Amino acid sequence: MPSGRSRLVDWILVATLAAMALAAFTMDRSAAMDLCGPDSPDPFGRALWAYGERYDPLVSQNPHFLRVMSGISAFVFGPMELALAFALWKRRPWLRPLALVWSISMLYSMVVHTIVELWGELPPPNPVIAVTAYLAYIVVPIVLLWRMRAPADPR
């Protein structure tokens, strides 16, 4: 049975994972479907383009690799985030393997994204804003990995 502190961490993770899933189903879906632009019929595509124009030129340019990564986020990571939030909330035993797969995959994709973001052809005008925008996608997988660590061997 998790301690009170662990349960608080679980509730914070549930809320954050649900928010990440919402972002995946809205913003990442728009990016994956190449709907980013000032005249896009999609409101999330317009919002992404506006954010990109001001803070993150890579997002407003939406190159092919970013569309692919956004598609993986929208159609793979988003459902996984909802499943993880549900499993944490209900304390389901299948949580640990899913949490390990999602966390490692998310960290891998964020390493790729961060390197291209900061040292690629379209660096952000203010790197602090760009890194802050993606911080949850680095911190949450690390916290989830910590939360899913194997219990200490009683021997």
DSSP, residue by residue, 114-125: HHHHHHSSS--S
> What is the span of the domain harbouring residue 29?
4-147
Domain annotation covers residue 115: yes
Domain annotation covers residue 155: no
Domain annotation covers residue 12: yes
Domain annotation covers residue 154: no
Res 71: pLDDT: 98
Residues 6+ apart with CB under 8 A from 126: 55
Res 4: pLDDT: 72
Domain annotation covers residue 16: yes
Domain annotation covers residue 153: no
CA–CA separation, 60 and 58 (whole Å):
6
Task: Please say if the pLDDT value at position 2 is more than 60.
Answer: no
pTM equals 0.89
Domain annotation covers residue 152: no
What is the count of structural domains for the chain? 1
What is the band of 7 on the pLDDT scale with cuts at 50, 70, 90? confident
Helices 127-134 and 136-147 cross at an angle (nearest 10°) of: 40
Residue 56: CB atoms within 10 Å: 22
Task: Please say if the pLDDT value at position 1 is more than 50.
Answer: no
Res 79: pLDDT: 98
- pLDDT (tens digit per residue) in 42-71: 999 999 999 999 999 999 999 999 999 999
Residue 138: CB atoms within 10 Å: 16
